[in-house]
């Protein structure tokens, strides 16, 4: 699926669609700096029911969320691997355990920095910023 996001309202509406899908597994977000990966994730977590701030995990690598849903608690992990020095660092922080949690969703920005060490994604979201400041978003089911 390919759509145009003309503004933040469009981004928020697409994030609601993602929340309604109740995805599990891993979603890789790709796009240049400033393409809107973190903004999309913020709206997505809020649409899932997260109350409060959504911090960029640029320096912490991972921000965990426990989101209350109609069926219980959904573990969501938002990772940003842009500042990852070595993909083997993921072993040291227990990153791969997130994938084993029941009903978990792992959203990864800059997965390309550790692509050979990560499990294959279940979904890909590619964001491309256009000259007129809108975004082209492509949502792909990877498996």
Residue 25 has what pLDDT?
Answer: 96
Domain count, the chain: 1
Q: Tell me which residue of 22, 47, 113 sits closest to 39, measured CA to CA.
A: 47
- 68 in a domain, yes or no? yes
Q: Classify residue 136: in a domain, yes or no.
A: no
Q: What is the CATH number of the domain that holds 112?
A: 3.40.50.300
Q: Which residues form the domain of 59?
A: 23-118
- The rounded distance, in Å, linking the Cα atoms of 85 and 67 is 30
Does the pLDDT at position 84 exceed 80?
yes
Residue 58 lies in a domain: yes
In a domain, 107, yes or no: yes
The whole-chain average pLDDT of the chain stands at 94
Would the pTM of this model clear 0.75, i.e. be above it? yes
53-81 per-position pLDDT tens digit: 998 888 889 999 999 988 889 999 999 99
In a domain, 77, yes or no: yes
Average pLDDT over residues 86-115: 95
For residue 95, being part of any structural domain is answered with yes
Which pLDDT tens digit goes with each residue over 7-43? Answer: 999 999 999 999 999 999 999 999 998 899 999 999 9
């Amino acid at each position: 699926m390919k759509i145009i996001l003309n503004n933040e309202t469009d981004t928020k509406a697409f994030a609601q669609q993602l929340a309604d899908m109740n995805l599990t597994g891993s979603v890789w977000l790709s796009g240049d700096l400033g393409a809107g990966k973190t903004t999309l994730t913020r709206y997505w977590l809020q649409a899932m029911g997260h109350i409060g701030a959504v911090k960029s995990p640029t320096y912490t690598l991972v921000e965990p969320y426990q989101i209350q849903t109609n069926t219980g608690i959904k573990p969501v992990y938002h990772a940003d691997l842009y500042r990852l020095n070595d993909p083997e660092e993921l072993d040291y922080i227990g990153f791969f355990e997130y994938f084993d949690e029941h009903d978990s969703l792992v959203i990864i920005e800059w997965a390309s920095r550790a692509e050979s060490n990560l499990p294959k994604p279940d979904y890909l979201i590619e964001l491309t910023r256009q000259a007129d400041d809108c975004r082209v978003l492509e949502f792909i089911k990877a498996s």
